[in-house]
Structure 1
Amino acid sequence: MERIVYVNGEYVPEQEAKVSVFDRGFLFADGVYEVTAVLNGKLVDFDGHMRRLHRSLSELQMAMPCDEGELLAIHRAMIEKNALVEGMIYMQITRGAADRDFTFPASATPTLVMFTQTRSIIDSAQAKTGVRVVTVEDLRWGRRDIKTVQLLYPSMAKMIAQGKGADDAWLVQDGMVTEGTSNNTYIVTADGTIVTRDLSHDILPGITRAAVLRCARELQMKVEERAFSVEEALAAREAFSSSATGFVSPVVEIDGKALGDGQPGPVARRLRQVYIEESLKAAI
């Protein structure tokens, strides 16, 4: 089955999809994106993704290409046209095409693109075996709270991790972990407290992060939102990450040191189970 993508009002086969070479997303990474998980053909945390999309666009003084109702309809059409049961929908909005200039164009029509990816999210191999990470210096720009398409350094960090035989990288600034290449990060201390970096310009306000913390508190788990060091992470009882496409992913090794018994820990396993259960019930 040929994949159908959405480009500026049209559903077309992916081989026919085109965007202007003058698009500012291509020339300046002047764009934002959201990735929404799909389970059983339904969207997970869609309202949360829309709230963050509004914030990202506002921070960049960029216009919405259409209203939320239309975006929801397009997402659902993409699921139907691609017979997507489990996976994700990637949505990207750029400022649009304009003659190349560092200043924002006075007027430009936003570019809206969406495509689907089929992936086994619930029955994830990494959720069973755990993820091995290495720490890498965080050299990204200072507004990581905006979900922009400026992803070159996270991509480079992930390649550094793979070159060291690991699965992913945790980014570090001044000795403190900020986040993963494409996820929020957590450790579980010796007394069972879940620690994750507090929200600021330093990290992305993850939609899955918010849901996972809500689940943890409903399960009466102790949560601290604060920065934690690499040393704390290496001494942690367990660790995990969260993202829209990984849900809760246990981390079993950091910089070559196994955490606990080197297997996915009970806190991560429980949170993953509850998050999936709640997502299946609430998906739209």
Structure 2
Amino acid sequence: MSQSAIAVADIRKSYGDLKAVDGVSFTVTEGEFFGILGPNGAGKTTTLEIIEGLREPDSGTVRLLGESPWPRNVALLPRIGVQLQASAFFEKLTAREQLLTFAAMYGVSAARADEMLELVGLTDKAGTREDKLSGGQRQRLSIACALIHDPDVVFLDEPTAALDPQARRNLWDVLRAIQERGKTILYTTHYLDEAEILCDRVAIMDHGRILALDPPATLVRGLDAPTRVILERGSLTTADAGALPGADDVSEDELSLTITTRNPADLLSALAERRALAGLQVRTATLEDVFLELTGREYRA
């Protein structure tokens, strides 16, 4: 049976009248990829910093690998890796030199630097200075620095923020590779599509509280949201679409006709019979729909 790598019980942190973290509790098992999701200001980073031992909670308890991270627990440092939102590197060093410096700090072999470069796909950039790397390459180098000492738990705070779509996808492969090595990953993001793909479980936060916590698929199923079938405008009239088996609601804009249904099988079969499948898209509920249902307002990036 898997043990808890992280156990958080009713932690709270306020700054004046602002309740940054307001009674948060959860556990993360060893080897789990756990995401904390929410808009900016939800309390994600503060929660992460309390668990890492960077901030003292006003109340509540945290156990990280069986120990309290606060007051600053030096014994935990070799067992955790931390990648912050803003990465800081040593000036004028190449990617490999950066990793060699971190390796020396932790007392690990120089060979580990080359292993990490390969893991994050930067072997061909080993001799490139950090300030000459792209944003996505810098993020991958930052993660490599956090992993150089082979930590048991890895903390990643919005590792894909401000990356272009291709760089984000490349970094997903790195994160999957980290988990495959048996590492526990706790990360924050406001990209719900990303979390839906990567995470074993997610906690959705807003205003310092956890609104929901479960595997992404469980949260989506629990929403019981209808399916939207989107057709090219002109494929059917709104009247014909509304008369189809399974059609609950029909709407139309300048480009498309959308049919809402809770019985997509019958609806799609009827559309196939009418040869109305050109350009068809089927959209089911996502984590973003769950978030909107929970908060009742627009998702804030």
Which bracket does the TM-score occupy, shorter chain normalised? under 0.3
- Higher-Rg structure is 2
TM-score, with structure 2 as normaliser: 0.25
Higher helix fraction: Structure 1 or Structure 2? Answer: 2
